[in-house]
Chains A and B, each alone.
Chain A
Amino acid sequence: MSGRLAWFLGCTVPARAPGYELAARRVAAALDLDLVDLPAAGCCGYPVKEDRPDAALLLAARNLALAASAGTDLVTLCSACLGTLARAAQQLESDPGLMTAVNKRLQSEGLVFEPGPRVVHLARLLYERLGAAGITARVTRPLTGATVAVHYGCHYLRPSRLYGHGEPVEAPVSLTRLVEATGAVAVGYSEPGLCCGGGLLGVDEEAAYALAARKLGAMRAAAAGAVVLICPFCAIMYGANQKKIERATGESFGLPVLYYPQLLGLALGMTPAELGLDHNPVRAEAWLARIGWREGNRHAV
């Protein structure tokens, strides 16, 4: 582990969740986390693995090799990137023959995979480096009155054997504590571990929407004012597709979907515009007004 950190943005965050990237960068800077960019980083490999696992592993390996040559760990915003890169690192580190074969292919780019770079999700990094207390200490505008449903998603937690994060996957705490550190209340709701259905979207849209609808319904039933999550695929299901799901099911959710760094940024005194909230597909103005956020009193409690 090197201690130096690099962003691993992946494909979906810059293309479909610019507000997430913006908020993540601002929040990291405000919390004195120094992260560099790796301009040559490409796809993590996840979208290729069903067709050609060898190509997927090579894609992951070249990103890990880029991190190794920069002497950094990789900080992901997408949980699919997290799982894919962490898995590849484990596979390569435990199989010297595979590592040699992969490195032979990486030679054409002048890259070498070496064991070392750790792959960590930004939320995990915040939890480990600052913890809930460290976050609370930096909060200037507690989000008192905000009631949110926390969605961990799958690959931030599972498979637990891969990450060694040590938290119980059926009753995780890290993201909940990070959310509560902002002053918001994390409501309990049924089936918190339910998958968003994103991985199924290309194969069976109807089934994917049925899963997302069940979760949105449970959150609404628990009187959540907004959803807080940490993966762009989950956000596509609950946010970008919320209208479609409402039409398909005849239900109405009206739940704004925030990435955790956006929620945290509000508590650190940043404005919704600075945090790219206007790029989120479900408008958050009404929710912001309900929690008392007003332009001009950004430091008021």
Chain B
Amino acid sequence: MSPYTIESTAGPLILSAALRRAAREHGRHWHWSYCYQCATCSAGCPVASVRPEFSPRRLLRAAALGVEGVLSDPALWLCAGCHACVERCPQGVDVADALAWLRQQARAAGKLHPAYRRQAEAVARHGRLYPVDDFENENRADLGLPPLATDLPGARRAAALGEHP
């Protein structure tokens, strides 16, 4: 059960005016307020079909109301980014982008999923997700593939932008 639904809330439901304001402000970019809760997004969501606790419809409404628990809901990280909902929303809400914005708010609250931190760290270290060394380039040469750069200082620096020291 999601931590922000009324049924599951043991204590008081905490509403955050700041979250509500921010959702309204940023929601303009993806027509958030046009959502009339038809649940086309949730019904067609591949992740929801195997993880019913992931409901884009519910996440969007909870955030629009400013329900603070939404930012610590682990379901927030279950979006696979397939964009099926974006294509199907009859109101033109960019559901995927709205959820990405919510994950950014969660990140700002120190709740980034560790899998994403690890990925970002790898790119900041190598400029790409996987390091390339001379051994790798020998294997590529054996296949007839051109060598890759073993260091990408520009990409490393770009990937480190905003990184915590």
| Segment at the interface with A among B2-10, B20-28, B58-66, B82-90 | B82-90
* Given contact pairs A55-B158, A199-B82, A211-B50, A40 touches B120 in the complex (Cβ within 8 A): no
Query: What residues of A have a CB within 8 angstroms of the CB of B17 in the complex?
Result: none
Query: What residues of B have a CB within 8 angstroms of the CB of A145 in the complex?
Result: none
* Given contact pairs A40-B149, A158-B83, A207 touches B117 in the complex (Cβ within 8 A): no
Number of chain B residues close to chain A: CB under 8 A: 57
Query: What residues of A have a CB within 8 angstroms of the CB of B152 in the complex?
Result: 40, 42
Contact B155–A62 (Cβ < 8 Å): yes
C-alpha gap A114/B113 in the complex (Å): 34
Q: Could you pull out 28 A-B pairs where Cβ atoms are within 8 angstroms?
A: A11-B123, A11-B128, A12-B130, A21-B145, A25-B145, A41-B155, A42-B152, A42-B155, A43-B128, A47-B120, A50-B113, A50-B119, A61-B158, A62-B154, A108-B157, A111-B154, A154-B80, A154-B81, A195-B47, A195-B84, A197-B46, A199-B82, A202-B113, A202-B119, A204-B78, A210-B50, A211-B47, A211-B80
Query: What residues of A have a CB within 8 angstroms of the CB of B136 in the complex?
Result: 15
In the assembled complex, A48 has its CB within 8 A of some CB on chain B: yes
Contact A51–B82 (Cβ < 8 Å): no
The A-B contact count (CB < 8 A) is 168
* Given contact pairs A37-B146, A202-B116, A15 touches B129 in the complex (Cβ within 8 A): yes
B46, B123, B146: the one within 8 Å of A43 (CB):
B123
15 further A-B pairs in the complex, CB-CB below 8 A; given A18-B145, A50-B119, A52-B120: A14-B132, A15-B130, A16-B130, A18-B140, A42-B159, A50-B103, A50-B112, A108-B157, A111-B154, A154-B80, A195-B82, A199-B81, A202-B119, A203-B115, A207-B51
Interface size class, chain A: 35 or more
B88-135: which have CB < 8 Å to A?
A: 94, 96, 100, 103-104, 107, 112-113, 115-120, 122-124, 127-130, 132
In the assembled complex, B12 has its CB within 8 A of some CB on chain A: no
B84, B103, B107, B120: the one within 8 Å of A55 (CB):
B120
In the assembled complex, A2 has its CB within 8 A of some CB on chain B: no
**Which B residues have a C-beta under 8 Å from some C-beta of A?**
46-47, 49-51, 77-84, 86-87, 94, 96, 100, 103-104, 107, 112-113, 115-120, 122-124, 127-130, 132, 136, 139-140, 143-146, 148-149, 152, 154-163
Question: Per-residue CB proximity of A166-194 to B under 8 Å, as 1/0?
Answer: 00011000000000000000000000011
Interface of B: prevailing SS? helix
Contact B115–A202 (Cβ < 8 Å): yes
C-alpha gap A25/B149 in the complex (Å): 18
Contact B160–A203 (Cβ < 8 Å): no
Contact B116–A51 (Cβ < 8 Å): yes
**Which A residues have a C-beta under 8 Å from some C-beta of B?**
9-12, 14-16, 18, 21-22, 25, 37, 39-43, 47-55, 58-59, 61-62, 105, 108-109, 111, 154-155, 158-161, 169-170, 193-195, 197-200, 202-204, 207-208, 210-211, 276
C-alpha gap A298/B82 in the complex (Å): 39
C-alpha gap A103/B152 in the complex (Å): 18
Contact A22–B158 (Cβ < 8 Å): no
C-alpha gap A204/B116 in the complex (Å): 12
* Given contact pairs A108-B157, A207-B47, A211-B50, A59 touches B123 in the complex (Cβ within 8 A): yes
A52, A61, A159: the one within 8 Å of B87 (CB):
A159
C-alpha gap A11/B136 in the complex (Å): 13
Contact A204–B51 (Cβ < 8 Å): yes
C-alpha gap A22/B141 in the complex (Å): 11
Q: Nearest B residue to A194 by beta-carbon distance?
A: B46
A39, A48, A154: the one within 8 Å of B159 (CB):
A48
Closest 7 CB pairs of A and B: A42-B155, A202-B115, A11-B129, A158-B83, A51-B120, A195-B82, A50-B116
